[in-house]
Amino acid sequence: MSEVELGGVGVDYESLGRTITAIDGIDLKIPAGDALSIIGPSGCGKSTLLYTLSGLIKPTRGSVKINGRELSGQRRETALILQDYGLFPWNTVFDNAALGLRVRHVPKDEINAEVGNILRRLGLWDMRDRYPVQLSGGQRQRVAIARSLALNPDLLLMDEPFSSLDALTREELQNTVLEIWRERNINGRNSSNGNSSAKLLTIVLVTHSIEEAAFLGRRIAVMEMGPGRIIKVVDNNGMGGVEYRNTPAFYDRCAGLRGLLKGGAREVVGVE
Amino acid sequence: MSKVKGYLGAAVTLFIVWYALAILLNTQALPTPVSTLSDFFHLLPSDLLWHFAVSLYRVGLSIILGVLLALPIGLILGREESIDRFFAPLIFILYPIPKVVFLPILLLLLGLGNLSKIVLITVIVFFQILVTTRDAAREIPSQTILSMKSLGATKWQIYRHVIYPASLPKMFTALRIAAGTAIAVLFFAESFATQDGLGYFIVDAWSRINYPDMFGGIVAMAIMGIIIYELLDLIEHRLCPWTKL
């Protein structure tokens, strides 16, 4: 379970002696098992918001609560996937996927079993001894997903995870993420097998792709910049199926989001 | 196997050029490879092998010590700004000074034996590795560190799993350059006040105007170079397999 609650969150940082406000006044409630997309123009602070959720950045103002507890540093159950640099070129596929567990001193047998399962599940088992340079971009991000799943997270944070991939690979990986989210949340609701992997999975995805936001977000937070704020949270109940991206409802949703983003941009221009 | 063939080909080419030059110049100072090699193999068991072993020991130990000292310090200076701020100026003052000028002091303080030579070469290797690993560690993208941090890694684990392997390939590049310098400095150090080592052997043959002996020593030095480079290659292969794909 992970319920995320942000109240009045603001992050300032120093750059060349000036204080710059990256995000401000962020109020957001993400129920456990939700899938939230955060979309906004480049530089609107959406990555800062995500890092704040991960505990890597401490907010200057406001509070971040996960499951009712104030966040201080990283949580064991939070996993983060970055666009690049996430995988280490000096580790094989297996070692990359196992790294999070090794860092946590999980016994070796457990690591082998757990990582083995996840690699098989993601179709990476045959590549376990390869190094990242020997993989395609899509395979690399698959390994990044494997690594975060190995942590058995209840909160999965993704920072533009697929933006450097070609269109077809991107859709394939979006489908994979959607499947994982659905699987986990159906298992979680029934909790029939009672094992630890049956907890709800909350996904927060930062993207600048309107289609990605609409495909993977059950709710979509639209941000504007200067400083980064959430201008609207859109409900997107139609999502959840792989076929959703071919439906008229999807196109309408994308058009709506595009309108919101353009409106936000115009406002910023107006302010300046 | 192809490597051995490569070395053989290079050796044959060198010997042909050398032979032609020796015939053309027709001087005592450049013996033919034939007389050099016959001296080389003649001297090898009785004399040359001992000098070779002494030199390899000195330069090998120096390289190992230099790396063991410079690698951790370089990584820490590259990542810990508060420490670097204090030490970096010190390093940049000392780095460009030709360390060989300290040989007289070292001889005075540490004696004429192995120690003074090993310390001198170690210091030279140390600075070359230090400066490179420090820069390599600084250049690691903050995203890479962040990604490791997000897994909940401790500071030590970030050093162990990210900073060390990320800097290692550049360290090996620096080490190749440093090894060349180390051999040159070894020759210099062994040409003073000593009775063993290839440097001594070459300079001694020179003073006896025994050019085939002298060139035999030079051949031995070249072989030592090959051994060191091949060993470095082998170790790099084992430690950085991802760079060889």
- pLDDT value at B34 more than 90: no
Strand A155-159 with A18-30, pairing = unpaired
Give the end of a domain, one of A122, A151, A180: A151
Judge whether A66 lies within some domain: no
CB of B240 within 8 Å of a chain A CB? The answer is yes
| Diameter of chain A measured on Cα atoms | 59
Give the end of a domain, one of A151, A167, A197: A151
Top-confidence range, A67-76, B32-41, B54-63 = B54-63
Contact yes or no for A103 and B144 at CB 8 A? no
Judge whether A57 lies within some domain: no
Contact yes or no for A90 and B150 at CB 8 A? no
CA separation for the pair B186, A214 (Å, rounded): 67
CA separation for the pair A90, B168 (Å, rounded): 10
Contact at 8 Å (CB) between B208 and B137?
no
Task: Decide: residue B154, CB within 10 A, 0-12 exposed, 13-18 middle, 19+ buried.
Answer: exposed
Q: How many domains, chain A?
A: 2
Check the CA dihedral A209-A217-A215-A173 and report its sign: positive
CA separation for the pair A201, B89 (Å, rounded): 51
Output the pLDDT for position A221.
93
Spelled out in words, what is the top-level CATH class assigned to the domain B35-244?
mainly alpha
User: What CATH number did the domain enclosing A200 receive?
Assistant: 3.40.50.300
Output the pLDDT for position A85.
64
Residue A186, H or E segment: helix A167-190
Query: Is residue A121 located within the same domain as residue A182?
Result: no
Q: Mean pLDDT check: name the lowest of A62-76, B47-61, B67-81, B157-171.
A: A62-76
The 3-state DSSP class for residue A1 equals: coil
pLDDT tens string A36-78: 999 988 888 888 999 999 998 999 999 999 988 888 888 888 9
CA separation for the pair A47, A52 (Å, rounded): 8
Other beta carbons less than 10 A from residue B2's beta carbon: 6
Could you tell me which of A148, A153, A157 has the C-alpha nearest to residue A97? A148
The 3-state DSSP class for residue B163 equals: helix
Mean pLDDT by 10 residues, chain A (272 residues): 84 87 90 92 88 91 89 87 84 94 93 94 92 91 91 91 88 91 71 54 92 93 88 88 89 90 60 36
Interface of A with B (CB under 8 A): 51, 54, 56, 74, 76, 78-80, 82, 84-86, 88-91, 99-100, 103-104, 131-134, 147, 151
Output the pLDDT for position B135.
95
Please give the distance of CA B240 from its chain centroid, rounded to a whole number: 19
Find, in chain A, the residue whose alpha carbon is nearest to that of B167: A90
Judge whether A105 lies within some domain: yes
Q: What mean pLDDT comes out for the span B50-73?
A: 95
pLDDT tens string B140-189: 998 889 889 888 899 999 999 999 999 999 999 999 999 999 999 999 99
SS (H, E, C) A96-151: HHHHHHHHCCCCHHHHHHHHHHHHHHCCCHHHCCCCHHHCCHHHHHHHHHHHHHHC
Query: Is residue A241 located within the same domain as residue A216?
Result: yes
Domain positions in chain B? 1-30, 35-244
Query: Is residue A129 located within the same domain as residue A180?
Result: no
Of all residues in chain B, the percent with pLDDT exceeding 70 is 100
CA separation for the pair A144, B75 (Å, rounded): 26
Q: Which two tokens stand for residue B35?
A: 């007389």
Residues of A in contact with B241 (CB under 8 A): 131
Residues of B in contact with A88 (CB under 8 A): 144, 148, 161-162, 165-166
Output the pLDDT for position A196.
45
Quick one: DSSP state of residue A84? S
Does the ipTM surpass 0.85?
no
Contact yes or no for A151 and B240 at CB 8 A? no
Find, in chain A, the residue whose alpha carbon is nearest to that of B162: A88
CA separation for the pair B233, B94 (Å, rounded): 29
Query: Is residue A251 located within the same domain as residue A136?
Result: no
Judge whether A53 lies within some domain: no
Best to test chain B binding among A88, A93, A111 (most B CBs inside 10 Å): A88
- pLDDT value at B21 more than 80: yes
Strand A229-235 with A155-159, pairing = unpaired
Question: By residue range, what is the domain housing residue A115?
Answer: 85-151
Query: Is residue A266 located within the same domain as residue A161?
Result: yes
Length of chain A, please?
272
| B172 vs B1, residue with greater confidence | B172
Query: Is residue A132 located within the same domain as residue A267?
Result: no
The four Cα atoms B76, B82, B87, B89 give a dihedral, to 10 degrees, of 130
Q: Which two tokens stand for residue B244?
A: 């060889």
Best to test chain A binding among B151, B172, B236, B240 (most A CBs inside 10 Å): B151
Burial readout A205-227 (b: 16 or more C-beta within 10 A, e: otherwise):
bbbbbbbbbbbbbbbbbbbbbbb
Contact yes or no for B144 and A88 at CB 8 A? yes
Query: Is residue A255 located within the same domain as residue A265?
Result: yes
Find, in chain B, the residue whose alpha carbon is nearest to that of A105: B153
Output the pLDDT for position B234.
94
